[in-house]
Amino acid sequence: MLNDFLTTPPTAEPAQLVEQIKRMAHSAQAHFLSEEKFLTDQHYPRLQAHRNAHARLLRRMGLVIRELSSSVTPIRLLALKVQLKDALARHIRHEDLDYARIYCDHRPNEVCGVTDDMLDWSQELSLGAPTLDREHGELARTLNAFYCAAIHEAYGIDPSPFVRKIQTRFQAHFEHEKELLERYAPELAAVHLADHDSFSQSLDGALSALSDPEDRIEDLGALFDALQLWFIRHTLTADLELAERLPNELRD
Ligand SMILES: [Fe+2]
Ligand SMILES: [Fe+2]
Ligand SMILES: [Fe+2]
């Protein structure tokens, strides 16, 4: 919609330009409203400031419409286009990015809206051991948060803190499973813990690659796929075996 307006030649009829920008303002308004509804639902702390920014953008579009309704020079038209594009880009880079950064972490699936590629925590991954299942659900969310950050990388989100979060949260979970293994299934411990180590090592590798501009990971999506695949395989093999050895009071 913005592109229609930006690419219109300076010789276009003013009425045509006004029509375009009206359409653009109309769709921007609908988009802003749905974004504000989302932010309200998420109890976003800077909602009012974000709302004000939307109102300023709409007012700016209104002023452009008014100015275009009388005749403008080609230079003035160019200036109006550049200013409007700049204002929208700044909003996306600052205000929109601010909530994306917060909600990649809290509600990755809702923010990204690309749930198809994400890890779907479902009954199929449930082991019938409530504490482990709850922890696994949390870990799935942490992996999805990284994916959400990865696909927003182009907008300036740094995925490294999300990888570090995966590292810390998996580490805590591995410690918990280590205790359970030693207590209830010591003969399974060596193989199981070695598999945890291999996951931790691949994360270490990913983190050092992310911090080194020379060796930058090109395909964060592939990294996510690899982590996700490990998680599913490990849950349905080693963790399932462990869960089956747990005493009844730790099972559903
Ligand atoms: Fe916005
Ligand atoms: Fe495990
Ligand atoms: Fe596990």
pLDDT in tens, 177-203: 999 999 999 999 999 999 999 999 999
Domain-terminating residue out of 55, 85, 106: 106
Domain-terminating residue out of 81, 106, 131: 106
Domain count, the chain: 2
Ligand nearest to the CA of 132: 3
Ion ligand 2: residues, CB < 5 A: 177, 239
With beta carbons less than 8 A apart as the criterion, state whether 47 and 40 touch. yes
Distance 238 CA to ligand 2 centre (A): 6
Over the stretch 32-64, which tens digit does the pLDDT of each residue have?
998 898 888 878 888 899 999 999 999 999 998
Ligand nearest to the CA of 193: 2
Q: Which residue range forms the structural domain that includes residue 101?
A: 2-106
Residues 59 and 135 in one domain: no
- Higher pLDDT among residues 147 and 239, named by residue: 239
Distance 98 CA to ligand 3 centre (A): 32
pLDDT at residue 111 tops 60: no
Distance 207 CA to ligand 3 centre (A): 21
Distance 124 CA to ligand 3 centre (A): 14
Torsion sign, CA atoms 207, 208, 211, 214: negative
Using 50, 70 and 90 to split pLDDT, how confident is the model at 210?
A: confident
Residues 127 and 228 in one domain: yes
Distance 196 CA to ligand 3 centre (A): 9
With beta carbons less than 8 A apart as the criterion, state whether 132 and 243 touch. yes
Q: How far is CA 221 from CA 18, 51, 132, 147, in A?
A: 41, 32, 27, 7
Residue with tokens 């988009």: 31
- Residue 113 zone, left/alpha/beta (φ > 0; ψ -120 to 50; rest): left
Residue 246 confidence (pLDDT): 97
Per DSSP, the three-state class of 212 is coil
Domain-terminating residue out of 106, 131, 150: 106
Residues 139 and 243 in one domain: yes
Structure-derived torsion over alpha carbons of residues 126, 132, 138, 141, reported in degrees to the nearest 10: -40
Which range of 62-71, 145-154, 178-187 scores highest in mean pLDDT? It is 178-187
Q: What is the CATH number of the domain that holds 231?
A: 1.20.120.50
Residue 71 confidence (pLDDT): 78
- Residue 128 zone, left/alpha/beta (φ > 0; ψ -120 to 50; rest): left
Ligand nearest to the CA of 134: 3
The closest of 126, 128, 139, 136 to 246, measured between CA atoms, is 128
CA-CA distance, 237 to 123, in Å (whole number)?
15
Mean pLDDT in residue range 74-90: 86
Distance 35 CA to ligand 1 centre (A): 6
